[in-house]
Amino acid sequence: AQLSCLARLLAAKNLTADFGSFPPDLLLFFHPSEVRAGTCREFYSRASRGNLDLLPRGSSRRTRLLRGALTCLGVRGSRLEPQQLGSLGALVCDLEPGTIPASAPAILENLKLCPALTGAQQDALNALLLTGDTAYGDPSSWDLRTLQDLGPLVLALNQTTLSLVAEAVREDFRRSVVAAYSSQGHSQREKSLILLRAFAAASATSQPRLKRSEDKDGCPSEPITVDWVPLLTPKELDLCLSNDVLIENLEAVLEQPLTSQSSRILKKKVDQFFPSGIPEEQLKRLGVLSRLYTEQEISQWSVTSSDTLLALLSTSGGQWEDSQVQQLLSRYLALGGSLTGPLLREIGGKRLCNLREEQIQQIPAEAIGTAGQLNICPCSQTKKEQLYRKAREAFACLASTPRSYYCRIQPYLGGAPAEDLKDLANAGVAINMDLDTFLTLNPEELQKLSITDVKNLLGENLPKLKEAENEPSVVSWVEIQSQRELDCVLGIGLQGGLQEPTGTASPACPTTPASVTSTATVPTPLHPTTSASVTPVPTTLSTVPTTSASVTPVPTTLSTVPTT
């Protein structure tokens, strides 16, 4: 959204011609009408280096970008020449599959820039490679260097293409993938596993087997070590890897490329080694295997330490199902565990919302204070209110500095009562609440806010409220406000408020610029305590509106409204 707004701002100020000084990501949001014919080739060449994922695939803006590039480069049919490919870059990723075999072979270099290829594009890529008319030659002539040079395209190779690659070359490449696996991040490991499965399928009938002993199990004659694990089939893993070796080297084994079937076998072996239940110290070591346990199995775990829970929740072990996390947290709390700030960060707002109300009640306020920004939008209103009360307690020491207080409590304001929101609005310091936070406020509490409250809360972001005028909570709030006050106090064009009774003459709104008419309000504390018998009324020092900037405003007398 920020890049889109910046692009519109540059266009409005006629600053788009100097596109060479802007980052490629920003150019993706330029309208084609801003691209000059004389420099369009350079523009699209630079834009193509941006992150295309910023524009959803198939979106009108992304389609328009590609169409503008093709028009600029004079593309008339399916074939793309080398010079055109050089300017299109990653924009080729959105072209029809038929363009791939019809274009110059250099299109393969463009396709390496694509985060993912469609099934039809992969088929077209393999068809082009099978012709042998590319820089890589016929697949039967490929060596290890060729497969490495193909880069991300090797993920798109089908079984027909792979079967033509020499068996020894496939095995060398597979070993190189295994060797790099332990140092890769999670997403790259996923790609490595895809590769290993594809190469294993191509070698299913001819994969070199390990040297066998003469025993009936058919296991390798030499002792199985960690290095053997990737070379074993699931059946061999079950028969030949001893439970003792597995437990002793569990972390190292789990660093190896493992298929889902192999992982299940390792889980079975762990359970066999600990028939009476996995000790807590061993739970920390489970890594990816922990995700294979059912909710029923997790309910039997001994999870009493926050260190154990943090180790289990670590993203390095892969994704948990929400139901598994719910059971894990329930078990931890049932055994007397306490949720700390670091634990809340690891759990995340969404899964925090899955806790029962009585479990949320157990969270110490100080944990909220050290948990950082938690997104509690998915929570029920009751849970939002619970978390807000804890956050208010955690950040009470900041109440005397409204801006700091607001920055910390902002994620929890969806559970705030109107009284506290009014305190923020009248704190005497502009907090400039962003629109997204405003829209997360409890609609029932929002209805209790006055027009001035809303104006003070939003501050410099008030004009953005017009963009949300069709949001249900905003519509409901507007409907119970005076239309005249909406016009005079907010002045942003909100419609739908209460009209003055028929026949009632309404004075016109002042037309004086805000810089001429000023209002000074006596600030109130964030959590005021007032006597029940006296209602304080803000004292306002107003100036008489002037119609000319050269006229000095004449202050009226300072008056107060009697209280009763």
Residues paired with residue 498 on neighbouring β-strands, in sequence order:
482
Asked whether residue 489 is domain-assigned, the answer is yes
Instruction: Report the alpha-carbon angle 366-372-374, nearest 5.
Output: 105
Supply the DSSP string of 477-536, one letter for each residue: HHHTSBHHHIIIII-S-----BPPPTT---PPPP---TTTS-EEE----SS----TT---
Residues paired with residue 347 on neighbouring β-strands, in sequence order:
none
Asked whether residue 443 is domain-assigned, the answer is yes
**What was the pLDDT predicted at 560?**
39
Q: How far is 561 from 564, CA to CA, in rounded Å? A: 10
pTM: 0.56
Asked whether residue 472 is domain-assigned, the answer is yes
User: How many other CB atoms are found less than 10 A from the CB of residue 174?
Assistant: 22
Amino acid identity of residue 236, one-letter, is E
Q: Which of 227, 248, 243, 231 is nearest to 182 (CA)?
A: 227
Q: How far is 284 from 271, CA to CA, in rounded Å? A: 15
Q: Which residues have CB under 8 Å from 138's CB, separation 6+? A: 132, 164
Asked whether residue 319 is domain-assigned, the answer is no
Q: Which residue has the tokens 């519109």?
A: 8
Judge whether 349 and 374 are in contact, CB under 8 Å.
yes
- How many separate domains does the chain show? 1
Give residue 433's domain range.
Answer: 427-499
Enter the DSSP assignment of 278: -
Q: Which residues have CB under 8 Å from 73's CB, separation 6+? A: 41, 44, 84, 87, 88
Q: How far is 522 from 352, CA to CA, in rounded Å? A: 40
User: In degrees rounded to 5, what are phi and psi of residue 212?
Assistant: -100, 150
User: How many other CB atoms are found less than 10 A from the CB of residue 59?
Assistant: 10
Q: Where are the alpha helices (DSSP H) in 54-166?
A: 60-72, 82-88, 99-102, 107-111, 119-131, 144-149, 159-164
Asked whether residue 266 is domain-assigned, the answer is no
**Could you give the count of Cα atoms lying within 13 Å of 111 in the half-sphere of its Cβ?**
31
pLDDT tens for the 564 residues of the chain, in order: 578 888 888 888 777 777 888 889 898 888 888 888 888 999 999 998 888 888 888 888 888 899 999 999 999 888 999 999 999 999 999 899 999 999 999 999 999 999 889 999 999 999 999 999 999 999 999 999 999 999 999 999 999 999 999 999 998 998 888 888 777 877 887 888 788 878 877 765 444 444 444 444 667 666 777 877 876 778 888 998 999 999 999 999 998 888 788 899 999 999 999 999 999 999 999 999 999 999 999 999 999 999 999 999 998 888 899 899 999 999 999 999 999 999 999 898 888 998 999 999 999 999 999 998 899 999 999 999 999 999 999 999 998 999 999 999 999 999 999 999 999 999 989 999 999 999 999 999 999 999 999 999 999 999 999 999 999 999 999 999 999 999 999 999 999 999 988 766 566 676 544 433 333 343 444 654 333 333 443 433 333 343 333 333 434 333 333 443
Tokens found for residue 339: 């949720």
Asked whether residue 15 is domain-assigned, the answer is no
Asked whether residue 359 is domain-assigned, the answer is no
Q: Which residues have CB under 8 Å from 414's CB, separation 6+? A: 376, 377, 379, 381, 384, 388, 440, 441, 442
Asked whether residue 460 is domain-assigned, the answer is yes
Specify the pairing of strand 540-542 against strand 519-521: antiparallel
